[in-house]
């Protein structure tokens, strides 16, 4: 009888430990913080939706990602493309909204799934700056109700955290320096002309 009780206690402890480990498993989604000047604004800006995996999680079959930007206007969310080191390699996600909010969706073929690990990306979000005069800090955040990771059998993978990012748009730092150099060059030319005028024989 005693051995049976000990066995039951052992099974209960193992079950609790296993449940605790499963509860710790999950995924953290994050966006980067970037700084952009006029040189960077000559090309499209992108934010990668990164993954950090905690513990062991099941493979991924589909996902939704909801994003928003504030303040807006100034910077708009305009689309999404395949990211470097993407979970769904070779696929372009679908975009259902654009502007100050964006809803991104992608799904593998029926029955397919893909493993996820830290350092991988879900998607790459394309941004559009309204004008070259736009300045300031623009915050990007996830919309929790529209963000989910789903397995092949329809089970949601736990999301332990949604970490937003930002884009800081700064003016051209070389403007003042360029003007200063131009002024110095004009002074040098004027000085050289004056010196030649003085030294010219009469």
Closest by Cα among 57, 32, 55, 58 to 45: 32
**pLDDT attached to residue 173:** 56
pTM above 0.85, yes or no: no
Beta bridge partners of 166: 33, 139
**What is the pLDDT at residue 3?**
56
Contacts of 159 (CB under 8 A, 6+ apart): 26, 27, 28, 29, 147, 148, 149
- The per-residue pLDDT for 187 is 46
Q: Distance between CA 139 and CA 68 in Å, rounded?
A: 8
For each of the chain's 202 residues, which pLDDT tens digit applies? 555 444 544 444 344 344 444 446 899 999 999 999 888 887 889 999 999 999 999 999 999 999 999 987 889 999 999 999 999 999 999 999 877 899 999 999 999 999 999 999 999 999 988 877 788 999 999 999 999 999 999 999 999 999 999 999 998 653 333 334 454 444 445 454 444 444 444 4
For the chain, the structural domain boundaries read 23-171
> Tell me, which fold does domain 23-171 have in CATH?
Immunoglobulin-like (2.60.40)
Residues in the chain: 202
Percent of the chain with pLDDT over 90: 58
Alpha helices in the chain (DSSP H): 2-24, 38-41, 174-199
Per-residue pLDDT reduced to its tens digit, 46-84:
999 999 999 999 999 999 999 999 987 889 999 999 999
Q: What is the pLDDT of residues 79-95, one digit of tens each?
A: 999 999 999 999 999 99
Separation of alpha carbons 51 and 29, rounded Å: 5
How far, in Å, CA of 104 to CA of 29, rounded? 14
């Amino acid at each position: 009888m005693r051995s049976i009780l000990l066995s039951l206690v052992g099974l209960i402890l193992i079950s609790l430990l296993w449940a605790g480990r499963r509860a710790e498993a999950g995924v953290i989604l994050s966006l980067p913080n970037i700084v952009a000047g006029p040189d960077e604004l000559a090309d499209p800006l992108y934010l990668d939706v990164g993954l950090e995996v905690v513990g062991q999680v099941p493979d991924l079959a589909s996902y939704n990602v909801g994003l928003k930007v504030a303040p807006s206007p100034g910077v708009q969310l305009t689309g999404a493309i395949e990211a470097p080191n993407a979970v769904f390699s070779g696929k372009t996600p679908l975009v259902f909204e654009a502007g100050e909010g964006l809803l991104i969706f992608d799904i593998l073929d029926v029955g397919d799934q893909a493993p996820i690990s830290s350092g991988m990306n879900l998607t790459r979000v394309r941004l559009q700056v309204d004008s070259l005069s736009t300045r300031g800090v623009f915050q990007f955040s996830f919309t929790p109700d529209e963000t989910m990771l789903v397995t092949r059998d329809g089970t949601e993978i736990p999301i332990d955290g949604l970490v937003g990012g930002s884009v800081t748009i700064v003016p051209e730092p070389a403007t003042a320096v360029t003007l200063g150099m131009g002024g110095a060059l004009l002074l040098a030319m004027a000085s050289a002309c004056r010196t030649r005028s003085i030294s010219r024989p009469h």
